[in-house]
Structure 1
């Protein structure tokens, strides 16, 4: 069950954006980006981390706003779900190449390629040292991969969602626009909501708050940041409910 008591988290769900898999441009399939991310996951496993992964698809499709014609949101979201499936299959293969089993589960069936997500099967894979990769979002339009990550972490009984971003935590303002912006070491979910901080979408944030699921935001682009976060609670920003910190 989610813990949330200020100690480093050993059982985590990593939320990877599609852009992270697209390399410096955040587009397409970048071989070095896939290899790097797989290596970072392997390093973190070596120090005791237990992981599932939710992947986005923004490197392959960025939604209806990128199209020159008007499309409906559900259709665009379905294309995005398919994009996450492609990323998941590639990341799974990359992890297997580094000696780590990484079964792929989809919110939607892809017969003969990706089985439908089963919490019981994914939990069994986690217990046996594999890294389940969860794709297809929630299977429904209008839900983000942030929300998917929090939902799947709760279904699997994991301690923490790790949102891997381009910045090492949550800041009072955009650090790419304001280099002197202060980073928060810790935040309660209520503080993040009250300050309208762009951490994850409100649905995801509320899921975490209401069910005691911790959320850590860190920069996966810093080598061994993920592995170090398994034992060092100062890395990135930790969000949890007020009173969970000891």
Structure 2
């Protein structure tokens, strides 16, 4: 296939996906790898929005477990996503891809505030839009942010790029040699089996708004483009099989 099957997509990147093999911090090589893959998709004429996590810098739920107030810990995590978004913006613009960062928490010196209509206009002009700061509310994950933003900008699919796995498995493939990789699932199966693809709020939001999800590995060069072209990679999660 040479023509993309989607016109507008949301790419969900975990913070860990930007940390490379180290598992923490921001890896410059991984930023370049992701930026080049996004560039390949933009050159196909696809409108790309990105939602970044912050787990490579700070994870709110872990901070809460250490005694920090949960809301405070979550706000700290939102700030971590902004750091990742700025790093990715820098990587994209270094290779000539116009990019805008929009945050759900106002910080006008470094990024635009999230405004839905402005985000859509940027996409229509061929710019990549990176959504940072989560939803702007504690207790909500960046998975939920991806589902919410996808619904708001009317994206056709969420591309969930993973750092260590190439799809959804019945168990942790690094701990269970008998773990089965799924090719297709419904959101109800994800919820009922407790597969942990995304949290229940995000899964329900995708299911209610009929937004399919493709889970695949970011570490293999060209996988984002393959997903956009409709090639069979990773695991597809949708409302019905």
Q: TM-score, structure 2 length as denominator?
A: 0.93
Partner of 2:124 in structure 1? 127
1:205 to 203, 206, 220: 203
2:187 to 168, 182, 189: 189
Q: How does 1:4-83 map to 2 (within 5 A)?
A: 8-63=5-60, 65-66=62-63, 70-83=67-80
The whole-number CA distance in structure 1 between the counterparts of 2:193 and 2:38 is 32
The offset of 1:112, in angstroms, is: 2.1
The whole-number CA distance in structure 2 between the counterparts of 1:158 and 1:72 is 34
Q: TM-score, structure 1 length as denominator?
A: 0.91
Structure 2: unaligned runs, 5 residues or longer: none
Between 46-55 and 32-41, the greater mean CA deviation after superposition = 46-55
Residue 221 of structure 1 pairs with residue 219 of structure 2? yes
Partner of 2:94 in structure 1? 97
The offset of 1:66, in angstroms, is: 4.8
Structure 1: unaligned runs, 5 residues or longer: 1-6
Partner of 1:3 in structure 2? none
1:144 to 141, 145, 164: 141
Contact preservation (8 Å) 1:14, 1:161: yes
2:152 to 141, 155, 159: 155
Q: Deviation string for 1:162-198 (max 9, x for gaps)?
A: 1111211111111122244221111111222222211
Q: Deviation string for 1:7-27 (max 9, x for gaps)?
A: 943421011111111121221
Give the length in aligned residue pairs. 237
Aligned residue for 2:113, secondary structure, equals: coil
Q: Deviation string for 1:183-234 (max 9, x for gaps)?
A: 1111111222222211100000000111111111111111101111112342
Contact preservation (8 Å) 2:59, 2:74: no
Q: Tell me the C-alpha RMSD between the 2 structures.
A: 1.7
Contact preservation (8 Å) 2:159, 2:227: no
